[in-house]
Amino acid sequence: MTYDYIFEFLRKNLAGKKAVIGLSGGIDSSLVSAFLAKSIPVDDIIPVFMPERGTPERDYNDVRKLCEKFKLNLIQVNIEPVIENYMKILPDAPAGVRGNLKSRTRMTILYYYANLHGGLVVGTTNLTEYITGYYTKFGDGGCDLEPIINLTKTEVRTAAKAMGIPESIITKPPTAGLWEGQTDEAEMGLTYDDIDKSIDYFRSNGKFGNDDVSLKVRSMYERNAHKREMPLSPGEEKVR
């Protein structure tokens, strides 16, 4: 599979601008970083790693390996003090709510650097996440460009191998890193392989299948439709 269309997309939309990207040590942000390094000068890439108290050491190591491989100048911003201060003025909440707060804090920091350098925030949401709504609205979903939004998680893995992403990043369990021990597949109750088979059917047929997995994926797709739409305004009949 060729990724020339992604390279051209990035070159065209980032011409003369800085590309700000949040690195997590995961496969999606790593692949987007590799695509950026192939498309624009590395000096125009601003990778920002934003760990907090629960960030595992392997993520620190994988981010370092990635940046060394693609000659990226990493910026590290620990968001733990920000989250701690938020929780001093906010009521306690379940892990998922606090996790969304972390994601939106990271988005704010990315836009700080984008504003500072006159750049654009480059997102890392893939097609599987987009279809299921498995991302935080105005968090990791807040960006200016989405270069891998047409690639399923399965296709992201294939691309990551082709682009030379370190094996430790490709093989580790996908996680949004929103709370300690969290993994994508455990939270969704489905494997990415099964979800992607359902999405492939959807892409080919314009509708979801009738098997149990497809019904669950369709439910997520419909439940999270608001994430893929502009905010409602007066006069619209749709009710959420």
Distant-in-sequence, close-in-space partners of 182: CB < 8 Å, separation ≥ 6:
95, 99, 175, 176
Average pLDDT for residues 194-219, to the nearest whole number? 95
Q: What is the pLDDT of residues 114-168, one digit of tens each?
A: 999 999 999 999 999 999 999 999 999 999 999 999 999 999 999 999 999 999 9
- CA–CA dist 223, 103 (Å, integer): 20
Q: Which residues pair with 172 in a beta bridge?
A: none
Predicted local distance difference test score (pLDDT) of residue 227: 94
pLDDT exceeds 70 at position 240: no
Best CA proximity match to 132, nearest among 178, 190, 206, 205: 190
Q: What is the residue type of 118?
A: G
Domains of the chain: 4-187 (3.40.50.620)
pLDDT exceeds 70 at position 238: no
pLDDT exceeds 90 at position 187: no
pLDDT exceeds 90 at position 181: no
Tokens of 226: 């608001």
| pLDDT confidence band for 179 (50 / 70 / 90) | low
Q: Where are the beta strands (DSSP E) in the chain?
A: 19-23, 45-49, 75-76, 120-121
pLDDT exceeds 60 at position 94: yes
For residue 142, the 8-state DSSP code is -
φ/ψ region of 141 (left if φ > 0, alpha if ψ in -120 to 50, else beta) reads alpha
Distant-in-sequence, close-in-space partners of 205: CB < 8 Å, separation ≥ 6:
none
